[in-house]
Amino acid sequence: MNTDMSRRGFIKTAGAAAVMAAAMPAGVFAAEEKPITLAFVGGAHIHTPSFIDLVSKRKDVKVKYMWDHDAARAEKRAKSLKCPVATDARQIWEDSEVQAVVICSETTRHPELVAAAAKAGKHMFVEKPLGFTAKESYSMAKAITKANLLFTTGYFMRTDAKHLFLRDEIAKGHFGKITRLVGSNCHSGSLGGWFDSEWRWMANPKIAGVGGFGDLGTHMLDIMIWLSGAVESATADIKVVTGRYGDCDESGIGLLKFKNGATGSLSAGWVDIDDPVTLLISGTEAHATINKGKLYYRCEKVEGADGNKPFTALPPSPPAPLEQFLNAVSGKAGMPLVTPEEAAVRVSVMEAMYRGNRSRSWAKPA
């Protein structure tokens, strides 16, 4: 799997995202793993084409329905999936053969669709962010957990071997006391007009919940929380740059105070022509940067970690999030799925950063 693939390439060539699933050969399953009957619920998200491509390559997956509130979009996605259109989502909820759903609707539709899926007992992959607000996101997380359902979301950066390695090093105590983390996830989407037509809703915060800062920032925010733990308070400076999408924000820098004492900064947006340094972690006993997709690590406790040349002794990468989800539904144990609670926490912290931006002060996550 090409874990060095930038977010820029991931969005510009949505179909290429299926390459990320190649970490585990499609169609190779243990005898105890079972075929999956799946439905797509919503096809609005920019990653939908790549998810369709991934699912289509799995011999153990049968897609029984495609539903979308937009009839034309439902027909288009159903044609790609080679499956019937469900004219009413209730067909999916009431069909006992359907085990799981992939929810790729507009974010504003997540609460009603997740609630219906939970009530119907359908395992679910829900594209990020889980919701608009912390309140609705925690409500969805509670419903999913109460129903004892498999869940994950599209935080694909967790499959990067460099991030996995750094998480393990932090857990081992090799960084000593972490003082600061700097994360960045930017591309040139506004400059290139990536959201001008089919994906226009993603540049409308009234439908997407966030603009460019939240859209890309949630991925690196996930990694920073995954590495450093809970956030105590947050704020941000978020702005419109080109005005191409009206008052939709296109760039921002957030500040995070972690409960472990570390301070973090998060840059994200759609107006950057390059994004070479995506992560920096500084501790009292180690230092790491990811620069142009390569890890530079300085730690006296680790052989070869001199900080001068790329560090390549990395663990194997897990499959892409949707691949993990399908594996888990099929019966494969040990898939590192994102929990509903984790997904809700990311929304809560992102909401605090937007709130801090408006009040020009620090805000506590709900």
Task: Say how far apart CA 313 and CA 287 lie, in whole Å.
Answer: 16
Q: Are strands 277-283 and 286-291 parallel, antiparallel or unpaired?
A: antiparallel
Does residue 35 or residue 142 have the better pLDDT? 142
Provide mean pLDDT across the span 313-338.
97
CB 236 within 8 Å of CB 200: no
pLDDT at 93: 98
Task: Say how far apart CA 322 and CA 45 lie, in whole Å.
Answer: 14
Residue 238 is inside which H or E element, if any?
strand 231-239
Task: Say how far apart CA 51 and CA 43 lie, in whole Å.
Answer: 10
The pair phi, psi for residue 263, each rounded to 5°, is: -115, 140
The string of pLDDT tens digits covering residues 262-289 is 999 999 999 999 999 999 999 999 999 9
Q: Where is average pLDDT lowest: 18-22, 59-63, 88-92, 325-329? A: 18-22
The structure's pTM equals 0.91
Task: Say how far apart CA 347 and CA 365 lie, in whole Å.
Answer: 9
pLDDT score of 10 more than 50? no
Alpha helices by DSSP H, the chain: 7-12, 48-56, 71-81, 90-93, 110-120, 134-146, 161-171, 189-192, 205-208, 212-228, 321-329, 340-359
Q: Which of 66, 145, 76, 143 is nearest to 112 (CA)?
A: 143
Provide mean pLDDT across the span 294-315.
98
CB 203 within 8 Å of CB 245: yes
Expressed in angstroms, the distance from the first to the final Cα of the chain is 36
CATH of domain 7-156: 3.40.50.720
Identify the band that residue 30 occupies on the pLDDT scale cut at 50, 70 and 90. Answer: very low
Distances (CA, A) of 336 to 125, 323, 325, 333, 343: 13, 11, 9, 9, 14
The string of pLDDT tens digits covering residues 208-243 is 999 999 999 999 999 999 999 999 999 999 999 999
pLDDT at 33: 62
Structure tokens at 145: 């957990």
Instruction: Give exposure, 29-46, as e/b (b: 16+ Cβ within 10 Å).
Output: beeebeebbbbbbbbbbb
Task: Say how far apart CA 246 and CA 242 lie, in whole Å.
Answer: 9
pLDDT at 361: 98
Identify the band that residue 34 occupies on the pLDDT scale cut at 50, 70 and 90. Answer: confident
Distances (CA, A) of 299 to 2, 144, 229, 303, 330: 26, 41, 21, 8, 41
Task: Say how far apart CA 67 and CA 93 lie, in whole Å.
Answer: 11
pLDDT at 180: 98
Provide mean pLDDT across the span 107-132.
98
pLDDT at 84: 98
Task: Say how far apart CA 185 and CA 218 lie, in whole Å.
Answer: 9
Domain ranges, ordered by start, for the chain? 7-156, 177-283+340-359
Task: Say how far apart CA 255 and CA 352 lie, in whole Å.
Answer: 10
Q: Which of 174, 125, 169 is nearest to 151 (CA)?
A: 125
Residue partners of 354: CB distance under 8 A and separation at least 6: 210, 213, 214, 236, 238
- Mean of the per-residue pLDDT values for the chain? 92
Topology (CATH) of 177-283+340-359: Dihydrodipicolinate Reductase; domain 2 (3.30.360)
Provide mean pLDDT across the span 158-168.
98
